[in-house]
């Protein structure tokens, strides 16, 4: 009986396991996870999951895995892959043989130089255990220092303010959300946080972080200091490629895969945050995406191709972030845009449409309260996938329905 082993029990790995059954795979499936929990959603960890200090939002309950005949191994890691023998050695001493292998090993937070891993007052946010430790310190009036002005840092800042904590956010670059978010939207987000009482310091270089029994202190290059009961570091993520690299697989800003998610070994696939892949809508440009929906899409695609379907990637990158009552959504990649067109909407919402030199729509970035921009971003995503070249004046006009442009 064919055996498919999936290393990594996060969003991507779990979705792939269930997709295999949905697509009719009748062999054995083993899902390997390092954490003690069943697979759970990570996006809530910086939002409601942190605020409520609840159990993780599980992707499925134990009964559903049992019903689907998916063996889930928790609290265990894969130590090595023997490609010749097609086997995986686990940290508990067991060895599993496979016919096909999926690496969904994800990514880990980038560490700040010099900070010990066991520092109690200096944390990073990746797991449910991390969220519980951070939540315990976020009492009303407590002071939180966040290093990094990306999505994680800003979502954490919004949640901390909701809980009544004082927040200082330190970003080394000139503005927050420097990766993939237009400056106009980043400025809107920064002003939103300042109105909510977050102190944002951009262009600041951190010389050192000092830990004490009652908190920690950031020492900035300009001589200033920031004191807090807790420091959370959110300066990006590093793909977990060590297992693949030790097995001799090709690495290029992650585990290198082709348009079918196949690695340099035809029986090993990789998907999710750990892999880099060519984007068909952007002339095959190789990227690595740390995004919830990408993990879902690639989990499903990997499942199909583990069964020999030979399908290629077709989805457009999509990101979202909830901060206070606002939701930011981005479809596509704006890098290389020659023209940006703004569409103002009701309730203060707006969307920026990004076009390349041939006037082809390559990205759309929007922000507004609740789901104000969700429908139009979804339609923009379809326009991007279609390679559409819509009239910029039509994009700018709120009276023009994007669905009409899509039909055209």
Residue 372 covered by a domain? yes
Give the rounded percent of residues in the chain with a pLDDT score beyond 90: 89
Sequence length of the chain is: 408
Residue 311 covered by a domain? no
Average pLDDT over residues 141-167: 96
Give yes or no: residues 162 and 61 share one domain: no
Give yes or no: residues 245 and 355 share one domain: no
Question: Is a pLDDT exceeding 90 seen at residue 48?
Answer: no
Domain boundary among the residues 306, 337, 362 is at 306
At 158-184, the pLDDT tens digits run 999 999 999 999 999 999 999 889 999
Q: What is the pLDDT of residue 369?
A: 97
Give yes or no: residues 103 and 241 share one domain: yes
At 90-128, the pLDDT tens digits run 999 999 999 999 999 999 999 998 888 878 899 999 999
Average pLDDT over residues 133-144: 92
Domain of 158, in residue numbers: 111-233
Overall domain count for the chain: 3
Give yes or no: residues 145 and 168 share one domain: yes
Average pLDDT over residues 132-150: 93
Instruction: State the Cα–Cα distance between residues 254 and 242, nearest whole angstrom.
Output: 10
Q: What is the pLDDT of residue 103?
A: 98
| pLDDT confidence tier of residue 301, bands split at 50, 70 and 90 | very high
Phi, psi of 226 (to 5 degrees): -125, 120
Give yes or no: residues 94 and 139 share one domain: no
Give yes or no: residues 216 and 118 share one domain: yes
Residue 227 covered by a domain? yes
Domain boundary among the residues 233, 258, 284 is at 233
Asked which of 7-16, 67-76, 132-141, 200-209 is least confident by mean pLDDT, the reply is 132-141
User: For residue 123, which of 99, 147, 154 has the smallest C-alpha distance?
Assistant: 147
Give yes or no: residues 80 and 121 share one domain: no
Say if CB 395 and CB 341 are below 8 A apart: yes
Average pLDDT over residues 126-141: 91
Residue 173 covered by a domain? yes
Q: What is the pLDDT of residue 249?
A: 98
| pLDDT confidence tier of residue 213, bands split at 50, 70 and 90 | confident
Average pLDDT over residues 187-212: 95
CA-to-CA separations, 125 to 9, 64, 202, 258, 383, in angstroms, rounded: 17, 28, 21, 30, 35
Asked which of 7-16, 53-62, 167-176, 251-260 is least confident by mean pLDDT, the reply is 53-62
Average pLDDT over residues 132-156: 94
Question: Is a pLDDT exceeding 80 seen at residue 220?
Answer: yes
Give yes or no: residues 130 and 182 share one domain: yes
Question: Is a pLDDT exceeding 90 seen at residue 53?
Answer: no
Average pLDDT over residues 396-406: 91
Question: Is a pLDDT exceeding 90 seen at residue 185?
Answer: yes
Mean pLDDT of all residues belonging to the chain: 95
Question: Is a pLDDT exceeding 90 seen at residue 296?
Answer: yes
Question: Is a pLDDT exceeding 80 seen at residue 408?
Answer: no
Give the rounded percent of residues in the chain with a pLDDT score beyond 70: 100
Residue 314 covered by a domain? no
Give yes or no: residues 27 and 76 share one domain: yes
Give yes or no: residues 115 and 100 share one domain: no
At 186-196, the pLDDT tens digits run 999 999 999 99
Residue 181 covered by a domain? yes
Domain boundary among the residues 217, 233, 249 is at 233
Residue 24 covered by a domain? yes
Residue 316 covered by a domain? no
Q: What is the pLDDT of residue 21?
A: 98
Q: What is the pLDDT of residue 63?
A: 98
Give yes or no: residues 185 and 156 share one domain: yes
For residue 36, give the CATH number of its domain: 3.50.50.60
Q: What is the pLDDT of residue 268?
A: 98
Give yes or no: residues 91 and 118 share one domain: no
Question: Is a pLDDT exceeding 90 seen at residue 78?
Answer: yes
Q: What is the pLDDT of residue 156?
A: 96
Q: What is the pLDDT of residue 318?
A: 96
At 321-360, the pLDDT tens digits run 999 999 999 999 999 899 999 999 999 999 999 999 999 9
């Amino acid at each position: 009986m064919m055996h498919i082993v999936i290393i990594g029990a996060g969003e991507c790995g779990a979705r792939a396991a269930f997709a295999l059954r949905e697509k009719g795979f009748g062999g054995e499936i083993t899902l390997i996870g390092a954490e003690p929990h069943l697979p759970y959603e990570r996006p809530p960890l910086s939002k409601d999951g942190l605020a409520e200090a609840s159990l993780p939002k599980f992707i499925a309950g134990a009964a559903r895995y049992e019903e689907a005949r998916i063996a889930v191994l928790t609290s265990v890691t894969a130590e090595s892959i023997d490609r010749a023998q097609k086997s995986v050695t686990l940290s508990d001493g067991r060895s599993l043989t496979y016919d096909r292998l999926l690496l969904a090993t994800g990514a880990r937070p980038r560490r700040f130089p010099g900070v010990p891993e066991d520092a109690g007052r200096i944390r990073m946010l990746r797991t449910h255990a991390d969220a519980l430790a951070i939540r315990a310190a976020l009492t009303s009036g407590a002071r939180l220092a966040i290093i990094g002005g990306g999505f994680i840092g800003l979502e954490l800042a919004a949640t901390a303010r909701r809980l009544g904590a004082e927040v200082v956010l330190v970003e080394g670059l000139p503005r927050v959300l420097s990766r993939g978010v237009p400056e106009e939207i980043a400025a809107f987000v920064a002003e939103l946080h300042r109105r909510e009482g977050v102190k944002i310091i951009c262009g600041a270089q951190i010389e050192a972080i000092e830990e004490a029994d009652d908190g920690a202190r950031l020492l900035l290059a300009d001589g200033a200091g920031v004191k807090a009961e807790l420091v959370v570091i959110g300066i990006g993520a590093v793909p977990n490629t060590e297992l693949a690299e030790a097995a001799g697989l090709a690495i290029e800003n992650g585990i290198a895969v082709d348009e079918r998610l196949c690695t340099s070994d035809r029986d090993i696939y990789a998907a999710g945050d750990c892999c880099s892949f060519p984007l068909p809508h952007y002339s095959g440009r190789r990227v690595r995406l740390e995004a919830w929906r990408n993990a879902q899409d690639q989990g499903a695609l990997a499942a199909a191709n583990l069964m020999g379907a030979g399908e290629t990637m077709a989805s457009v990158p999509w990101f979202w972030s909830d901060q206070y009552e606002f939701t930011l959504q981005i479809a596509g990649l704006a890098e290389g845009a020659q023209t940006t067109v703004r569409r103002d909407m009701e309730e203060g919402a707006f969307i920026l449409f990004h076009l390349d030199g041939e006037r082809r729509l390559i990205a759309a970035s929007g922000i507004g309260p609740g789901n104000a921009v969700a429908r139009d971003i979804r339609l923009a995503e379809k326009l991007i996938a279609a390679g559409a070249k819509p009239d910029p004046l039509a994009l700018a006009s709120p009276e023009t329905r994007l669905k009409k442009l899509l039909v055209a």
